[in-house]
Amino acid sequence: MTEGKEEKGKYTTVSIPTPLAEKIKKRIEGTGFNSISSYVTYVLRELLASMEEEEEEAFSKEDEEKIKERLRALGYLD
């Protein structure tokens, strides 16, 4: 994916197999994605976000503060 101008420092190059790139190129024809890069970026962002969602949180914000206060009082923090 070396297409498009790379703004120095903000982007990096990632290699994918050519047949996959061809496949993506076909898929994005006529869509809002103007490059393979923009499509791949979108897909990866979606994927990562969904994976993060699966990581359940043990505590609500409020509970976490409560626990931090308690642990601080117990000497485990600071």
Give Cβ neighbours of residue 72 (< 8 Å, ≥ 6 apart).
78
The span from the CA of 69 to the CA of 34, in Å, is: 50
Q: Which is nearer to another protein, 3 or 64 (CB)?
A: 64
Residue 36: other Cβ atoms inside 10 A? 21
Closer residue to another protein in complex, CB, 29/78:
78
Q: Is residue 9 part of the contact set for another protein (CB under 8 A)?
A: no
Least separation, in Å, of the C-beta of 52 and another protein? 11
Stretch that binds another protein, among 3-11, 13-21, 46-54, 55-63 (CB under 8 A): 55-63
Token pair, residue 17, equals: 């197999």
